Every structure is written in C-alpha cells, then in structure tokens.
Chain A
Amino acid sequence: MRSRRKLQRIAIILLSALTLVVVGFVGAGCTTSNDYLLSWHLVDSGKHCDWDANQSKYESYVVSGAKTWNAYKAGVFRPDSISVVQDVRISDVSELGESWLGETSPLGYINLNKALLDEVSSNCKQNTVLHELGHALGLDHNDNASTNIMYSYNTAVTALSSSDKSSYDASYARY
C-alpha cells in the first residue's frame, strides 16, 4: 500500500513536470479559462495565413478584414500569390436552405453563403468575414459578450474586442 502510494507520488511529480514542459511548449494548445481556441488553425509554419478569395464576391471584405486582424498582429494574413502556398481558400456558395452565413473548415476553406449574406447590411457582412477569418486563426466562439467578433451570431460589430485579442494572443503562441 505504502509503496504504491510512493509510486503514485512519483508518477504525479513526473506527470506534473511533463505537463509544465508540454504546456510551455505548445502554449495555448492546452488553454486556460479566458481564451477560446479551436483544436486547429489554418496558419502555416511561417506564421502566415495566405488567403485566396479570387472567386469570392466578398473579396473587398476579406481585404479589409485581413487588415483589421493584421492591425493587431502585423503580417499574418497575406493575399495568396504565385510565390506562396495558399492556406485558406475563400469562396461563395448559395444555399438558401441553410441557416449559416459562413463556415470555416479545418480542411482549408471558408464558405460564404450568398443567399443569406446578401440580405444583411455591409457591417454585418464585414462581421461575418472577420469572424470566419478569426476561425482560420484558430479562434473558437466566445459568447461572453455580443461585442466579440467571435460571438456565435452575426452582429454589426467590426472591431476586435479585448477578448478577441486575448484569444488571438493564445492562438498565436501555438503557431
């Protein structure tokens, strides 16, 4: 009984040490309370997310959304070019029967649903694009306040909140 307890204690110490090392290493991979992260992101090992929105009618919203995120951390979003490999492909679908405005897949694409997106204001369009770009950065929904870009539902908010920035810090640490 006693030796078993001792073994358990050694196991805990070892695991704790390992946890510390690993937490330090993957950073936000194991997140703490205030950051809302997905288990994946679409940022490459050079800390860039190169987007291709040639096919999307909302390309100007993507340009401006990328600028907003880059104003907080410069140079992460870059338009795709011949010299770089695309990390996220942004295109439009028209699914009148679907209730989503946008979706981001870990397989490397963002779909924007024209059927619904064309019905909302330009701020709401901008909010959707900013939100989906946030998913590409690895941010999950954060429903603590509707002023978050990463709030689950569409709003007219077009500026990053302090919670959005804090989650981005945590996600950036794991790129």
Chain B
Amino acid sequence: MRTKKSFSAKKKGILIAAACVLALAVGSGIYFGVTKGGITLAPAVRSYVININNAEEVAGFVDYVFVGRVEKQMDARYEDVFERESEDGEKTLVGAPYTLYEVTVLENLKGNLKVNEPIRIEKEGGISMDGKFLSVAEGDSLPEEGSLFVFAVSAGADGSLLANHNYKLMKTKLTEKAIGKMQPEQLQKAMQAELEEAEAQADYKRFAEACKNEVPFARERYTASAEWLEAATQ
C-alpha cells in the first residue's frame, strides 16, 4: 500500500512539475490550452443570469429545446470587429465569432420547430478571424457535423435561432453512404431506431424531464421563422 501511495504522490509531483515547465515555456503572459490541428483553445468566461448547470433553468430561459442532427457547419461571421496590436507591434483583427449550422430537428421537447428538414441555427463561438484560435465559452462546446445533440436555442427578433447550449448525444450512423444503400422502408426503420437510441441518452432524459418542470424566466420573446405553422399543414 505504502509503495503505491508514494508512487501516486510521485506521479502527482511529476505532473505538477510538467505543468509548471509548460507554463514557464509559454511565458508569463497569455497561455491557453492547445487543441488538435495546431489551433489553440481560447476559452471566454461568462457571467450568466441563470445556473446553466440546471436543466430546468436552461429550459425556462430558452424558447426551444429539441433533438437535432447537425448536417453542416458553415463559416463564422464576426461581431464588434476591432484591430488589436500586440506588444511587439503585430496587428490582428479580432471579433466575436458566430458559427452558422444546418440542423435537422428530429424531435421537439419545447416549442414546435419544423421537423425533418434542415433549418439554420447560429452559435456564438468559432474560429478566430486570424484562424489561430478556437473561441468558445468555458464549459461550452461547438456542435459537430454528423452528430445528434440536444439543442437549447432562443429566437431573435428577426426570427433567427441562436443556440445557447448543445449537449452531444451520439454520432449518427445514418451517413450519406449508409443511406444510399437503404430502401425507403429500411431508412424509416433506421431513423426510428436512431431516435430511440438518442432518447436513451442521459442528457435527453434530463431535458425531456426539465421541459416539464421549467423554471420560468421573464423576458421579451420572439417566434422563430422555422416554427411549424399548424395552419399551413392542414
């Protein structure tokens, strides 16, 4: 037991030392973690008006909660662009990125968005203007193409949708290649099976429950242009 303990303490010591060496190597200025592909993670910190770890509060704040499959990630746009000069005189353009996604709604948990056809949603975060950083809020992540998520989104005054939070459920098995080999009935069955698998995930259950027990939040509300208009379907 004793040797084991001393070994783990040692491991810890090595880790701390390694972390310190890394911090030293990067210097005493700005340091972020590094992600794959040579892009550095630049995690913004936010102060929220709700507890974002509480699904009931999230469900109450947003306008729509749904299960969606991410079809396509598009380019980012940038707000509040300004020129930043580093201490060595290097100038770069900086702005808050918003990335656009095409998402198919598979099941509505709150609200009533069009299902089974791609709609567009935006998410604050994305690649920085100089292409060097991935800007995403701490504790948050960007949706990935080809995966199913629970999305919590709000509608803007212009009817556009902004994803506040997204929780990954699973990767889709229904890739274009897989679908290409399927008969229509087979595809129907496979889609049903996939949705059932998504519904078995913890985050799905958490939000399905939360949408029945929302903590109300009073603010101005708008309707999404992608909202399902019952009258139009009759």
Contacts and interface: CB of A to CB of B under 8 A. Distances in A.
A26 B23 contact: yes
A60 interface: no
Interface residues of B, number: 55
Which of B16, B24, B45, B62 lies at the interface centre, i.e. has the most chain A CB atoms within 10 A of its CB?
B45
Nearest to B33: A39
A174 B133 contact: no
Contacts of A99: 48-50, 52, 58, 61-62, 164
Contacts of B157: 96
A104 interface: yes
Interface of B: 10, 13-14, 16-17, 19-21, 23-24, 28-33, 42-52, 58, 61-63, 79-80, 82, 84-87, 94, 96, 124, 128, 133, 135, 137, 153-157, 162, 164, 219-220, 222
Contact of A23 (B20, B31, B46): B20
B96 A105 contact: yes
- Among A18, A25, A93, A99, max chain B CB count under 10 A is at A99
Contacts of B135: 105, 107
A96, A102, A111: most-surrounded residue (chain B CB, <10 A)? A96
Given A107-B94, A175-B28, A19 B16 contact: yes
A132 interface: yes
A25 B23 CA distance: 10
Contacts of B80: 55, 89, 91, 93, 109, 111
B42 A105 contact: yes
Contacts of B133: 107
Given A30-B19, A97-B63, A98-B164, A153 B128 contact: no
A111 B28 contact: no
B79 A131 contact: no
Interface in A84-126: 85-86, 89, 91, 93, 95-109, 111, 115-116, 119
Contacts of A98: 124, 154, 162, 164
Contacts of A89: 80, 82, 84, 94
Nearest to A117: B49
Given A40-B31, A44-B87, A100-B49, A107 B24 contact: no
6 contacts: A93-B79, A97-B155, A97-B164, A103-B47, A106-B44, A140-B45
Contact of A116 (B14, B49, B84): B49
A135 B222 CA distance: 32
Contacts of B50: 99
A22 interface: yes
A38 interface: yes
Contacts of A41: 29-30
A8 B13 CA distance: 12
Given A18-B17, A85-B85, A154 B49 contact: yes
Given A15-B17, A30-B20, A102 B43 contact: no
A154 B156 contact: no
Contacts of B33: 39
B29 A103 contact: no
Contacts of A67: none
Contacts of B61: 99
